[in-house]
Chains A and B, each alone.
Chain A
Amino acid sequence: AQRVTQPEKLLSVFKGAPVELKCNYSYSGSPELFWYVQYSRQRLQLLLRHISRESIKGFTADLNKGETSFHLKKPFAQEEDSAMYYCALRGFGNEKLTFGTGTRLTIIP
């Protein structure tokens, strides 16, 4: 079975402060991890995936297999980062994507 846990339903951060959205997963094989984001009145969209190892909109996420985590980080929050963030997992050889319950990030001006 594959499971994704996002422990924080709500997170508020001041503009300019660092952001970390937590994601832990449970999967016995080799997973692919993703972060999806939904801005107000927009569709859910891919933010980044761990195999790309790239920074998108200043966000990065590192897969830590030892801690089974894939936390999303940004050093300096911006107001436009306010959104709903979902962590997702896909098992090897399986196209089904399992999502966490999401974290609503609010950036305080």
Chain B
Amino acid sequence: GAGVSQSPSNKVTEKGKDVELRCDPISGHTALYWYRQSLGQGLEFLIYFQGNSAPDKSGLPSDRFSAERTGGSVSTLTIQRTQQEDSAVYLCASSPAGAGELFFGEGSRLTVL
């Protein structure tokens, strides 16, 4: 079966523009995570969805960042008014409920000029 799919794989944008990053989790996985991977910063937790529960948004760095998950499947991470410090690889992962192991996508590399 297919793994976690993310698009676009690369995105170059100008400072101040909005961007949307998409994640298709593994079918049947109820948990979905977004992380940001930056040089020297490791993997920074952004947001977590589990089934129909309210998402854990505790890692979102500012109100310019938001995410939604429609129908318990596809998720979109939106960054408004992008800044240069938003440049990073954005990783999505999914997990069967309670399993602990996360299955990662290949990431979306965002470059803000």
Residues of A within 8 A of B (CB): 6, 9, 32, 34, 36, 43-46, 49, 86, 88, 90, 95-102
User: CB of B85 within 8 A of chain A?
Assistant: no
User: CB of B20 within 8 A of chain A?
Assistant: no
Nearest-neighbor residue (CB-CB) of B91 within chain A = A44
Apart from A6-B42, A9-B40, what are 6 other A-B pairs with CB-CB below 8 Å?
Answer: A43-B105, A44-B91, A49-B101, A95-B50, A95-B100, A101-B40
For chain B, the count of residues having a C-beta within 8 Å of the partner chain is 25
Contacts of A95 in B (CB 8 A): 31, 48, 50, 95, 97-98, 100
Nearest CB of chain A from residue B61's CB, rounded to whole Å: 16
In the complex, the answer to whether B35 meets A99 with C-beta atoms within 8 Å is yes
Q: Which 10 A-B pairs have the closest CB atoms?
A: A101-B42, A99-B43, A44-B104, A46-B101, A102-B42, A43-B104, A96-B48, A99-B42, A43-B106, A95-B31
Q: Is the interface of A mostly helix, strand, loop or mixed?
A: strand
In the complex, the answer to whether B104 meets A45 with C-beta atoms within 8 Å is yes
Contacts of A9 in B (CB 8 A): 40
In the complex, the answer to whether B43 meets A86 with C-beta atoms within 8 Å is yes
Contacts of A44 in B (CB 8 A): 43, 91, 93, 104
User: CB of B70 within 8 A of chain A?
Assistant: no
B26-84 CB contacts (< 8 Å) to partner A: 31, 33, 35, 40-45, 48, 50, 56
In the complex, the answer to whether B102 meets A46 with C-beta atoms within 8 Å is yes
- Give Cα A55–Cα B40 distance, bound, in whole angstroms: 29
Residue from A45, A86, A95, A101 having most chain B Cβ neighbours under 10 A: A95
User: CB of B3 within 8 A of chain A?
Assistant: yes
Nearest-neighbor residue (CB-CB) of B97 within chain A = A95
Contacts of A96 in B (CB 8 A): 33, 45, 48, 56
Q: List 16 A-B contacts (CB under 8 A).
A: A32-B100, A34-B100, A44-B43, A44-B93, A45-B103, A46-B101, A46-B102, A49-B100, A86-B43, A95-B97, A97-B33, A99-B43, A99-B44, A99-B45, A101-B40, A101-B42
